[in-house]
Amino acid sequence: MDFYVVLGVRREANDGDIRRAYRRLARQYHPDINPGDREAAARFRDIAAAYETLVDPARRQRYDAGELTAPGSADAGFAGFDFSPQVHAEPSTTFGDLFANVIVGAPDRRPRRGADVHVPATVTLEDVARGTTARVTVARHVPCRVCAGAGVARGARAACPACEGRGTTRVARGHMVFTRPCERCDGTGQRVRQVCLACDGAGSEPRSDVLDVPVPAGVLDGAVVCVEGMGHGGLFGGPPGDACIAIAVAPHALYRRDGDDLFVEVPVAVHEAALGTRVTLPMLDGAPVRLKVPPGTQSGQRFRLRERGLPSARGGARGDLVAEVRVMLPRVLDERSKELLREFGRLQTDSVRDARFPVHEEPQ
């Protein structure tokens, strides 16, 4: 008996080649994998003897020199046996690879919630001030109406012949018996004779719904309003997800928003800033506001109107309205207007500049 032939390796094979050959043959002929097979048991004894001789450098040298011809103390146990799935692993006594085909987890068929659907919606600042309803279209996948999400035509299921409808099969390994999910039916105990033609076996179908989503007053830019149960359908009877509407507030031509406060620029003429005036501001909620501009108002001066801003989404007090005055210079085109401005300048006793910038009259 040639030990190299028994292991199926060449005479110049290194230690790694010998170990890999032994692991491969041991998985095939080990007595625990072939219970009651005497031929396999005898073959495994020869494999173990060849391995124990060739894996030991001193014994291999004596065998190659012809000094060792009889099999060593081959033991059909697990000495030096490596059942780990890693090919280049060191010898160990783990059982990972031996029972890798019987220790299999059952497929996870627990009910799972469907995924959420995210849809954008744009509202105006007027909508934020009053509250509104956003109309959006939600595209989602729901359980097939024909097969109720099963993916199988009605009445097209039958008991799996491999497991006889139990969903599990029994595998013997030596004196141990293992139960594992049936590979033929994926642990369901049934086989499919015909898939649902309406959904092509997917169990779901696309669907679009138009939703009127209430948007509360004071909603912030980037806020998300969710409609429960209007997302993708769940798996294995699980609940559907939600439709999540992401709110975007469009910029306004007149007002600028900062939280619940509103900011607006109010243009006034020179004489209005000097003598004072009242300006009517159109508000977002429809109720106008009268802003009093006192005499002598300077350009850039701000006036705060309490609680005339936006409502708070958190239910607190309304924000404020901040009006910033911008003094606008008139276009002087005729001589009469120019003369009036010169006269106005002569009547002004207070300079707009301090002593650091003296006023010099230009020659006429």
Residue 84 has pLDDT above 50, yes or no: no
Does any domain span residue 198? no
Residue 65 has pLDDT above 50, yes or no: yes
**Which carries the bigger pLDDT value, residue 94 or residue 171?**
171
CATH number of the domain residue 56 falls in: 1.10.287.110
Residues 123 and 237 in one domain: yes
Does any domain span residue 320? yes
Q: How many Cβ atoms from other residues are within 10 Å of residue 165's Cβ?
A: 15
The CA distance from 114 to 239, in Å, is 6
Residues 320 and 228 in one domain: no
End residue of a domain, out of 215, 236, 251: 251
Q: Which of the given ranges, 58-67, 78-87, 117-126, 334-343, has the highest pLDDT on average?
A: 117-126
Residues 27 and 126 in one domain: no
Query: What's this model's pTM, rounded to 2 decimal places?
Result: 0.57
Does any domain span residue 174? no
Residue 263 is predicted with a pLDDT of 97
Residue 85 is predicted with a pLDDT of 40
Residues 282 and 321 in one domain: yes
Residue 270 has pLDDT above 50, yes or no: yes
Under the banding of pLDDT at 50, 70 and 90, the label for residue 83 is: very low
Residues 110 and 222 in one domain: yes
Which residue pairs, CB below 8 angstroms and at least 24 apart, start in 177-183? 178/99, 178/102, 178/103, 180/102, 180/103, 180/104, 181/104, 181/105, 181/106, 181/107
Under the banding of pLDDT at 50, 70 and 90, the label for residue 145 is: confident
Cβ-contact 209, 137 below 8 angstroms: yes
Mean per-residue pLDDT of the chain: 80
The CA distance from 344 to 329, in Å, is 14
**Which domain range does residue 309 map to?**
256-346
Does any domain span residue 147? no
Residues 19 and 84 in one domain: yes
Token pair for 74: 């081959």
- For residue 14, give the 3-state DSSP assignment: coil
Residues 122 and 4 in one domain: no
Average pLDDT value for residue range 264-287: 91
Residues 95 and 123 in one domain: no
| Relative orientation angle of helices 57-64 and 38-54, to the nearest 10 degrees | 100
- In the block, tokens 């085109």 appear at 333
Residues 311 and 337 in one domain: yes
Number of domains in the chain: 3
Q: What is the pLDDT of residues 195-224, one digit of tens each?
A: 778 887 778 889 999 999 999 999 999 999
Residues 262 and 246 in one domain: no
Residues 8 and 62 in one domain: yes
Under the banding of pLDDT at 50, 70 and 90, the label for residue 229 is: very high
The CA distance from 49 to 29, in Å, is 14
Out of 149-158, 195-204, 307-316, least confident range: 149-158
The CA distance from 153 to 299, in Å, is 77
Residues 296 and 330 in one domain: yes
